[in-house]
């Protein structure tokens, strides 16, 4: 973790096997972990037991965990599911209740002169109705008002 970044996260995608990231979480440098299954033709399975195990490591270290999608091929309680639609994958991940909000991530934003940007000038994300059951909401910057959801 000897990297020159102020903010560090781990992305486990495609999540196609059990892993442990505990030694990295112990450092206190990782602020967020995101995981999601593999998509499209030829995708390999994502097992819910792996997701639960990874989440538990994050909870233990109070690190935010976001399960963004099941992937096309998902295994839960020994049952195999084929979920081709990405919106359904996201909704199923959301319904799993695996997302966890850990310690707050503090960003210090400055203007071009190095002065702190006042709180009332910072961007505040907003979301639409279809965002309510999206598992990525936890890591999303909000709606861009492109009109595609209307």
pLDDT tens across 27-61, in order? Answer: 999 999 999 999 988 999 999 999 999 999 999 99
Cβ distance 70 to 52 under 8 Å? no
Q: How far apart are alpha carbons 46 and 135 in whole angstroms?
A: 16
- State yes or no: pLDDT of 1 exceeds 80: no
Specify the pLDDT at position 147.
74
Prediction pTM value: 0.89
Q: Which of 77, 75, 66, 80 is nearest to 10 (CA)?
A: 66
């Amino acid at each position: 973790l000897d990297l020159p970044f102020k903010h560090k996260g781990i992305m486990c995608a495609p999540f196609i096997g059990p892993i442990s990231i505990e030694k990295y979480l112990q450092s206190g440098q990782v602020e967020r972990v995101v995981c999601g299954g593999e998509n499209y033709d030829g995708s390999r399975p994502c097992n819910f037991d792996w997701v639960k195990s990874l989440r538990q490591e994050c909870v233990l270290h109070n690190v935010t965990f976001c399960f963004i999608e099941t992937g096309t091929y998902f295994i839960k309680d020994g049952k195999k599911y084929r979920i081709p639609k990405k919106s359904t994958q996201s909704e199923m991940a959301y319904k799993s209740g695996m997302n966890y909000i850990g310690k707050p991530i503090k960003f210090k934003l400055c203007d071009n002169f190095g002065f702190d940007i006042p709180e009332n000038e910072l961007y505040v994300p907003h979301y639409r109705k279809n965002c309510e059951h999206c598992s990525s909401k936890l890591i999303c910057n909000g709606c861009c008002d492109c009109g595609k959801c209307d």
